[in-house]
Amino acid sequence: MLPEEDILSVGSDTVKNFNCSYLVDDSIRTSDYDLFLGSYLDPVFGQVKADIYAPIYFDTPVIDKTGTYEITSVQLLLIDSSYQYGKKVAQDIDLYEFKDAIDTNYYAKLTFNPTETFISALTLDTTLSESEADTLEYTFSGDFVTRIKDFIASSSYNDSLDPIVINKEFMKVFKGLHFAPRSSDAFIEKIMDIQIRVKANVCSSDGDCKEVNQYMYIANYIDRDSMVYFHPLNSFTLEHPSALKGNEGKEYQDKVYLQSMKGYKARIRMNDLDKWRDTQKVVINSAKLVVPIETDDYAPVEIIEFAVDDEATYSAIESQELQGASQYSIYITSFVKNFIKSDKSASDYKFELRVPDNNMKVNRSIIKANDIYLQITYTKYK
């Protein structure tokens, strides 16, 4: 029950006058599943390029060598590749075999410059819609096939049925495949899986013959002895055009940016929030940050996360919504409540937005910084 002299009312206020800037972000998608391949020229962000370095490992052996066998083909399969965005054109991809192992330092630095042997040029031709997928097949020849045959003929292949044991030996002679985009302005493709399929005719000692498929997959396991991780490296190269780099970190920008894959993050200072500290008998019900973005032919960032101050850990926003690819509605009620209780000035806070490092898409958003506002609803006692 309220005392008779108290009056309860609900109101709202709009806070504007934000200082906005942007910085290069060092976040990166760390998923071991979907991989991105290709290159395109973004009209704002310049060159975006995605290479794949894929260690390959044997599945459980299926070629029975107690009778006779003949390997008839060794094929590469790029499974369920699907267009992300860019131009609907053919794209040239150079295929290499790399000779150096990927260690944990490369996963951390996301760069890798191994000794390589060129195998062939491939062509990805994306005439499909975003909801469709395709599989590219390529048949190996020459030394690559000879070495695969030699390994299968060796005792290392089926002395054990444990793929970990087999691949410990296989990794000594075969480190993996590098898929390198050669086209500069094409598209980004999502690759769901990469396989090598070895086809063989196998005949038992009593003359029964059949065709079998021995598969090799993208390595995604831990060597139990060395505890070394084997999984693909998706290496991203972003141009960071000079026009953007020249204004990096500078405040009062009319546009700021969110970009995945070691792209950009946005920083916002909420100067006019200080007046709320002097407000008496007010309970904050909600605080919604509205962030308008430009709409164009490129996919906007769907999910973002935030940190307050440089020392803070990035975390999920209480709730958010991308509305019609034109603005974000981001609820930061806890931040505003905690700010009112603190003794800091709003200008001391660095409120940062970035793309999560487990982001599964190549995308970016251009934020219209001058149009950002904070909508606060509150309950007031008089």
SS3 89: coil
Q: Give the CATH class of 8-25+242-381.
A: mainly beta
In the predicted model, is pLDDT for residue 318 greater than 90? no
State pLDDT tens for residues 330-344.
888 888 888 777 777
In the predicted model, is pLDDT for residue 26 greater than 50? yes
pLDDT of residue 151: 93
pLDDT of residue 80: 67
Q: How many CB atoms are closer than 10 A to CB 2?
A: 8
pLDDT of residue 156: 87
According to DSSP, the β-strands at 264-270 and 18-24 are antiparallel
> Which one-letter DSSP state was computed for residue 351?
E
Mean local confidence (pLDDT), 217-238: 67
Question: Of the candidates 161, 202, 167, which has an alpha carbon nearest to the alpha carbon of residue 67?
Answer: 202
Q: Is the dihedral of CA 267, 271, 275, 277 positive or negative?
A: positive
| Per-residue buried b or exposed e for 266-299, using 16+ beta carbons within 10 Å of the residue's own CB | bbbbbeebeebeeeeeeebeebbbebbbeeeebb
In the predicted model, is pLDDT for residue 108 greater than 70? no
pLDDT of residue 228: 52
Cα atoms found within 13 Å of the Cα of residue 75, Cβ hemisphere only: 14
In the predicted model, is pLDDT for residue 40 greater than 70? yes
Residue 210 backbone phi and psi in degrees, to 5: -155, 160
State pLDDT tens for residues 188-211.
888 888 899 999 999 988 889 999
Mean local confidence (pLDDT), 100-104: 77
Residues 6+ apart with CB under 8 A from 243: none
182-191, 225-234, 243-252: the lowest-pLDDT one = 225-234
pLDDT of residue 57: 85
Mean local confidence (pLDDT), 139-147: 94
pLDDT of residue 316: 59
Confidence at 116, pLDDT banded by 50, 70, 90: very high
pTM tops 0.85:
no
What residue spans define the domains of the chain?
8-25+242-381, 35-231
Confidence at 142, pLDDT banded by 50, 70, 90: very high
- Is pLDDT larger for residue 41 or for residue 129? 41
pLDDT of residue 31: 47
Confidence at 30, pLDDT banded by 50, 70, 90: very low
